[in-house]
Amino acid sequence: MTDADAPSPEARRPRPQYGEYATPEEQRARIRQPAPEQRAPSMPPPQTPRPVVAPAIRTARPRLLDRVVTLVLLGYGLVMVVTSIPTFVDYGVYAGQLLSILGLDVSLSDPAAGRGYGIAAAVVLAVLWLAAALLSWMSLARRRLTWWIPLVAGVVANLVTGVILTVPLMNDPAVWSALTERLGGTG
């Protein structure tokens, strides 16, 4: 077989089935799309959409407000913890103040019995504030909405410490008697 008898390179490769070897002009002619230079001037060339900057500006302001509110709530909580701990530890003074606010002229039978409850309430209050501060810090680092964390922690802390501090008052017979007389019951 001589070079003249050998098939041409086009004959040796397989026949294209789906236009793999078509030139761009042949492809445009087949799909009936004009060349870019032949398009009408009224139709602008396709452009990629530009990124919108406005949402980033809108989200920056609420995040700043969220940080400020979170830090203010944590600061207020810290002040409450620092001022409440000495009062809770000296449970006799706390109970006296609470009973005078309620308008009861009575004192605890055994003020020392409530000291453990006061210390427990102070520890719970401090631990809940620390947990709120840690969770808030982690949430702020992730750029999540955070203001609700110290708020919920404050509500939970008030409920839990309120229950803890009420137990010795309700177990004291003198206080219980004064409360039932005040409410119109028999004691």
Cα–Cα nearest to 88, from 61, 65, 116: 116
- The pLDDT assigned to 161 comes to 96
Q: Is the pLDDT of residue 180 over 80?
A: yes
pTM of the model: 0.61
By percentage, how much of the chain surpasses pLDDT 70? Answer: 72
pLDDT single digits (tens) 87-135: 999 998 888 888 888 888 888 888 888 899 999 999 999 999 999 999 9
Q: How far apart are CA 187 and CA 178, in angstroms?
A: 8
Strands (E), the chain: none
